[in-house]
A and B are shown apart, each in its own frame.
Chain A
Amino acid sequence: MLGGDEDAFAALYHRRQGGIYRFALQMSGSPALSEDVTQEVFMILMRDGLGYDSTRGPLSSFLIGVARNLIRQRLGREQIYVSMEDENGDEPVTERFHASDSPLEELSRGEAIKSIRLAVLSLPARYREVVVLCELQELSYAEAAEVLDCAIGTVRSRLHRARAMLIEKMRPEKKVEAARDSVEQARCFA
C-alpha cells in the first residue's frame, strides 16, 4: 500500500474498516462521527503509514489506537455521546440487523440492548474504551493494553470497575423488567 498499490489499499480497507467503524460507533454512538473517524484513520495511514512500527504491535491495534485518539479529541469538543438512532430519526441503527422474532421477545431484547448500549455510552471515556475493546470488540487484555498504551493490570482493573458501574446502572432497569413480567403473568391468569 505504501508503494502506491491501489489494490493493496482496497484490500486493507475492506479488512479493517469494519472494526474501526464499530469501535468508533460503540464509543460515540454517532454514525456520522464514526464515519469521519474511519475516514481520518485511513487518511492518516495513507499520509503517514511509515509511522506504524510492526515491532510494537499489529496493524489493527495501531489503527484502533489512532481511532481512539481521534474520538477522544472529537468527544472532548462535542457532546459526550449521541443516540445511535438513524440519521432520519427512524428506527435505531441496531434494529436493522436484528432477526425478527416474536414481537414480545423482540421488544424485550431490543429494550435490553438499548439499555446496555446507553449504559456503556454513559461511562466515563477511560472506562468506556476498555469495555468497548474487551467486551464488544473482543480483544484480549494484552491487545487492549497495546491500543491503550498501558499495562495489562490497568486494563483489568479498569474493566472490573467499569463492569461494576454497568451493573449499578442496569440494576434499576432489571428491577422494572422483573416487576413488569410479574404483572403480565398475573394478567395472563386473570
Chain B
Amino acid sequence: MNCEKFQTVVTDLAREQIIDVSDRTAALEHVEACGSCALNLEDELSLSLDLQALANEVKGISAPVSLEAKMLAAFREQKNAKQVVNIASRRPASNYWVAAIAALMILTFGFFILRGILNNRRPLQDAKLNSKPETAPDAAVKELKTPEAPTTGPAYVQAPAPPKLRPNYVAIKHQPKTSASNAIATVGTAQNKPVSQPAAEVATDFFPIGFNSTPNLQEGGQLLRVELPRAAVARFGLPVNMDRAGERVKADVLVGADGLAQAIRFVQ
C-alpha cells in the first residue's frame, strides 16, 4: 500500500468502520513504515475522539418543553380546520349536474360559432370561383365588400353577415312577465326585427344563468339554439317527466359579448 491508497482508508480506519481485512492489514503495515501517514492516522484518531466527545455532550439535549405544547396545539388546530374543509367540500350531487350542463353548453356554443365562421367563408370562396375574369380587380373587391349591393358582373351568392362583436342582437318576442320575475321582456336589435319562431314551437321564459338576476346585453350578444338532456330542465325549477329524463330538449341560450351564457329558455 502506498500513501495515496492509505488516504482512501484512513478515515474508515480512524472511525473504526468496517473495511476489507486485507486493506486494514496493509494500512497498518504502511503506517509502521511511513512516518507522515503514521502522524496522519494519529491526528485522525484524535479527531475521532474529540468528535465522539462532542456527540456525547449533546446526546441529552432535546427541544424545549414549551415547543411540545405549541406543536400539539397546532396539531389540534390543523385537525379542526381539516374537518371544516371536509364538511364544506361535501357538495350536493346537483352541483355536478350544473357543471355538466355548463360544459355541454360551452361545447355547443363553440360548435355553433365555428359553424357560423365556416359558413361565412364558404360563400365568399364560391363567389371567387364563379367570378368572371373581365371584372376589374377593384370592382371584384368592392363586390365582396358590399354583398348587399351586387354588381351587374358575376353572379353573386349573398353570404350571411360575418359574426361581429356588436351584432346582431336578436330580438325576442315579448314574453309576458311572470311572478317569478325570471322573464326578460325584450332585447332590442339595431334594426328592431323580431325573430320569427316556427309556429309549432312553444318557449318558456328566460331563466338567468349565473349570479346576474338579469342579463346584460348592452355590448351585444347572440341567441343560440342548443339541445340538452331533459333532466336539465329540472335545475331551473320546471317539472320533468322522469320517464323521459334521458331525452333531449331544445333550448335557446343568450350569450353575451364576453361569450358567457346569460340566460336560457326551453323550447318545445
B75 on the interface (CB 8 Å rule)? yes
Give Cα A42–Cα B74 distance, bound, in whole angstroms.
10
Query: Are the CB atoms of A97 and B60 closer together than 8 Å?
Result: yes
Among A112, A136, A167, contact of B43 (Cβ-Cβ < 8 Å): A167
Query: Are the CB atoms of B58 and A26 closer together than 8 Å?
Result: yes
Among B46, B51, B61, B71, contact of A18 (Cβ-Cβ < 8 Å): B61
Identify the stretch in B62-70, B241-249, B251-259 within 8 Å (CB) of chain A at 4 or more residues.
B62-70
Interface string of A40-82 (1 = CB under 8 A from B): 0011001100000000000000000000000000000000000
Those of B215-265 within 8 Å (CB) of chain A = none
Those of A117-138 within 8 Å (CB) of chain B = 117, 120, 131, 135-138
Among B60, B64, B82, contact of A35 (Cβ-Cβ < 8 Å): B64
Query: Are the CB atoms of A38 and B54 closer together than 8 Å?
Result: no
Query: Are the CB atoms of A156 and B11 closer together than 8 Å?
Result: yes
Interface string of A98-120 (1 = CB under 8 A from B): 10000000000100110111001
Query: Are the CB atoms of B71 and A112 closer together than 8 Å?
Result: no
* Chief secondary structure at chain B's binding surface: helix
Give Cα A163–Cα B43 distance, bound, in whole angstroms.
10
B7 on the interface (CB 8 Å rule)? yes
With known contacts A39-B67, A39-B71, A163–B60 Cβ distance under 8 A: no
Query: Are the CB atoms of B68 and A47 closer together than 8 Å?
Result: no
Give Cα A25–Cα B194 distance, bound, in whole angstroms.
81
Query: Are the CB atoms of B67 and A17 closer together than 8 Å?
Result: yes
Among A22, A112, A170, contact of B58 (Cβ-Cβ < 8 Å): A22
Give Cα A38–Cα B44 distance, bound, in whole angstroms.
32
| Contacting residues, chain A, for B74 (C-beta < 8 A) | 43, 46
Among B11, B50, B58, B70, contact of A159 (Cβ-Cβ < 8 Å): B11
| Contacting residues, chain A, for B44 (C-beta < 8 A) | 163, 167
Query: Are the CB atoms of B51 and A116 closer together than 8 Å?
Result: yes
B122 on the interface (CB 8 Å rule)? no
Give Cα A76–Cα B58 distance, bound, in whole angstroms.
24
Give the number of residues in A that approach B within 8 Å (Cβ atoms).
46
| Contacting residues, chain A, for B51 (C-beta < 8 A) | 116, 120, 131, 135-136, 166
A4 on the interface (CB 8 Å rule)? yes
| Contacting residues, chain A, for B43 (C-beta < 8 A) | 167, 171
CB B42 to nearest CB in A, in angstroms, measures: 10
| Contacting residues, chain A, for B50 (C-beta < 8 A) | 112-113, 115-116, 170
A residues at B contact (CB < 8 Å) = 4, 6, 9-10, 13-14, 17-18, 20-22, 25-26, 34-35, 38-39, 42-43, 46-47, 93-94, 97-98, 109, 112-113, 115-117, 120, 131, 135-138, 156, 159-160, 163, 166-167, 170-171, 174
**29 A-B residue pairs with CB within 8 Å:** A4-B79, A6-B72, A6-B79, A9-B72, A9-B75, A10-B68, A10-B72, A14-B68, A17-B63, A17-B67, A17-B68, A18-B61, A21-B61, A38-B67, A39-B67, A39-B71, A97-B57, A97-B58, A97-B61, A109-B53, A116-B51, A120-B51, A131-B51, A136-B51, A136-B55, A163-B11, A166-B51, A167-B43, A170-B50
